[in-house]
């Protein structure tokens, strides 16, 4: 079965069931499938062949899903681009993936026009709205002119369906190739592990170009469920709470900073959140103190997913039954873990020679599954490094306990080595989040002539709260060995975050690197 087959099945078995609800449009599975077919056949008529790349530069919208499934049915390769990129960055990633067709939201029409002369492979530009530029075609016209019949293209489960791009934390983004087989394996495993039901109402909160969205698309089309799509425009906690309450949302996926924002909403108790069954959190580690607060506020189950664009992404899961507060001390400690491997994954923790380290010791997390990527687009050497000996090398440091629970300690690039001793920022951050005045915290290593690196804590205080650097250091000293304590503490108004809500430690480190280059003292940001 391919991903396009899922939509055909849903249209035949559940034709009137609501498939997609967006701010401007809603449709059942039969209508959804017909629109996808019309778009797919129009693309074929316009010259789309199997393995041609289909680029997408849009806001969150129902058309994103239509283009995705049109690619699935035609054998095209779906390439969603980060709509927050600057012109030069966007030009690089488009030329890297070499699309023949580029779908564009009108908001990006002017930028696309400026880039057009430098985009060598793009032959057709399709605007989701009525186009204002002569070089663009109209999306709805293309849908209207296509046949509603199933496309006459043979698509196989080992064909590449999508290229999702890494965040580029260690250089330019790399395109992870994902086949129908990989995606189906990931979907089946996550449906089972997360116990998705037939009547789920799923709120899409991530930017849809993110791999978490594809994870949700395939999982909840498999069931089949209803997607609720909010146009991207920053995470507004009050708006999300209202939407969950009004639309009776049962499931949503969030990153910890989003959950933190929801908990800060002063009127959270006034919203009816009783429809929620599960909050899936992923993207970065959840401080245990924040998780405990969330468990006390939201009347639903929680699950954590660990993974990467390259891994599926559904790799390990900390299930709802692990998120119970009235448990033994041993079980409560598991709240700091990322759970156990999904049913379709093997996980190991290894040393620099890929030898397993003893349980409880820290090493690199590697995994193997039918769900992991085929490789990086046009990057054979990078692929060989990432998939060495058939195992995906995550670049994350972690450990396994005696019961097989995996604890992600840190990214290799975030590890602090001070005086030859390893310091894991997350351990320090967990302590900082216990302080009553701290709203958010991030810990990085900054260069030091004597120690190599020293621990720097960057703090955001709660509204109206006060705390001094000395107080924070003393607090950390009560819970951490002396060498782990922050040597310096800076107070910022906010932490830099990605569109997905991840704290960007790379930007924090860059800020202090610039200060050292300029030899200027630290200041409040």
* Residue range 57-73, pLDDT digits in tens: 999 999 999 999 999 99
Cβ neighbours of residue 510 under 8 Å, at least 6 residues apart? none
Q: How does pLDDT run across 451-484, given as a tens digit for each residue?
A: 778 999 999 999 999 999 999 999 999 988 888 9
Residue 522, pLDDT > 50, answer: no
149-183 per-position pLDDT tens digit: 999 999 999 999 999 998 654 457 899 999 999 99
Contact 232, 213 (CB under 8 A): no
* % of residues, the chain, pLDDT over 90: 76
CATH 3.40.50.12780 for domain 191-412: yes
* 19, 29 contact by CB (below 8 A): yes
- The residue behind tokens 């996980």 is 347
In sequence order, the β-bridge partners of residue 456 are: 444, 488
Tokens found for residue 328: 């033994």
CATH 3.40.50.12780 residue ranges for the chain? 3-155, 191-412
Beta pairing class for 226-229 and 201-204: parallel
- Residue 106 is given by DSSP the state G
* In 27-61, alpha helices (H): 29-45
Block residue for tokens 């999904």: 342
CA neighbours closer than 13 Å in the CB half-sphere of residue 416: 27
Whether 128 contacts 24, CB under 8 Å: no
Residue 130 is encoded by which pair of tokens?
Answer: 């009525």
Query: Tens of pLDDT along 350-395?
Result: 999 999 999 999 999 999 999 999 999 999 999 999 999 999 999 8
Structural contact between residues 381 and 397, judged by C-beta atoms closer than 8 angstroms: no
pLDDT at 180: 98
- The strand pair at 438-448 and 316-318 is best described as unpaired
How many Å apart are CA 505 and CA 172, to the nearest integer?
17
Return mean pLDDT, the chain: 92
* Core vs surface per residue 494-507: b (16+ CB within 10 A) or e: ebbbbebbbbebbe
Name the token pair of 147: 């046949």
pLDDT tens digit sequence for 96-116? 999 999 999 999 999 999 999
**Architecture of the domain spanning 415-518:** 2-Layer Sandwich (3.30)
In this predicted structure, the answer to whether residue 266 has a pLDDT above a threshold of 70 is yes
Task: Report d(CA 386, CA 404) in Å as an integer.
Answer: 24
- 212 to 42, 184, 188, 439: CA distances (angstroms): 28, 15, 15, 26
> Does the structure show a pLDDT above 80 at 246?
yes
- Higher per-residue confidence, 3 vs 327: 3
Q: pLDDT at position 414, please?
A: 82
pLDDT of residue 503: 87
Q: Which CATH number is 3-155 given?
A: 3.40.50.12780
């Amino acid at each position: 079965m391919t991903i396009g087959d899922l939509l055909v099945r849903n249209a035949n078995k559940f034709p009137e069931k609501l498939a997609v609800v967006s701010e401007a449009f809603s449709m059942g599975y039969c209508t959804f499938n017909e629109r996808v077919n019309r778009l797919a056949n129009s693309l074929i008529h316009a010259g789309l062949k199997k393995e041609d790349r289909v680029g997408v530069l849009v806001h969150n919208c129902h058309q994103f899903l239509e283009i995705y499934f049109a690619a699935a049915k035609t054998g095209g390769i779906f390439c969603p681009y980060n709509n927050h990129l600057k012109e030069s960055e966007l030009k690089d990633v488009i030329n890297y993936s070499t699309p023949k067709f580029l779908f564009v939201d009108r908001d990006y029409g002017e930028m696309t026009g400026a880039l057009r002369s430098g985009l060598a492979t793009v032959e057709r530009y399709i605007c989701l709205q009525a186009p204002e530029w002569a070089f663009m075609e109209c999306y709805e016209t293309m849908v209207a002119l296509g046949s509603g019949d199933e496309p006459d293209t043979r698509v196989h489960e080992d064909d590449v369906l999508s290229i999702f791009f890494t965040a580029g934390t260690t250089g330019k983004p790399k395109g992870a190739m994902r086949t129908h087989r990989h995606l189906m394996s990931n979907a089946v495993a996550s449906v089972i592990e997360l116990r998705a039901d037939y009547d789920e109402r799923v709120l899409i909160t991530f930017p849809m170009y993110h791999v978490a969205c594809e994870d949700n698309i395939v999982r909840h089309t498999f069931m089949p469920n209803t997607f609720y799509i909010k146009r991207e425009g920053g995470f507004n906690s009050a708006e999300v709470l209202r939407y969950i309450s009004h639309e009776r949302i049962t499931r949503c996926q969030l990153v910890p900073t989003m959950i933190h924002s929801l908990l800060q909403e002063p009127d959270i108790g006034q919203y009816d959140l009783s429809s929620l069954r599960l909050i899936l959190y992923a993207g970065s580690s959840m401080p245990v103190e924040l998780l405990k607060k969330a468990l006390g506020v939201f009347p639903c189950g929680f699950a954590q997913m660990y993974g990467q664009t390259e891994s599926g992404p559904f790799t390990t899961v900390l299930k709802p039954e692990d998120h119970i507060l009235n448990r033994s001390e041993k079980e409560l400690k598991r709240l700091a873990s990322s759970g156990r491997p999904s049913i379709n994954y093997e996980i190991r923790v290894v040393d620099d020679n890929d030898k397993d380290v003893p349980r409880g010791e820290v090493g690199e997390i590697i995994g193997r599954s039918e769900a992991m990527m085929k490789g990086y687009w046009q990057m054979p050497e990078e692929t060989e490094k990432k998939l060495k000996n058939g195992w995906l090398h995550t670049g994350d440091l972690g450990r396994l306990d005696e019961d097989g629970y995996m604890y992600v300690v840190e990214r290799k690039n975030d590890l602090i080595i001070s005086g030859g001793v390893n310091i894991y920022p997350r351990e320090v951050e967990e302590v900082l989040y216990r302080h009553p005045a701290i709203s958010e915290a991030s810990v990085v290593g900054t260069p030091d002539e004597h120690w190599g690196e020293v621990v720097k804590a960057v703090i955001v205080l709660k509204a109206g709260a006060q705390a001094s650097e000395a107080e924070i250091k003393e607090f950390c000293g009560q819970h951490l060995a002396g060498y782990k304590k922050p040597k310096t503490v800076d107070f910022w108004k906010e932490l830099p975050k990605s569109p997905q809500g991840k704290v960007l430690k790379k930007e924090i480190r860059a800020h202090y690197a610039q200060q050292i280059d300029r030899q200027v003292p630290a200041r409040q940001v």
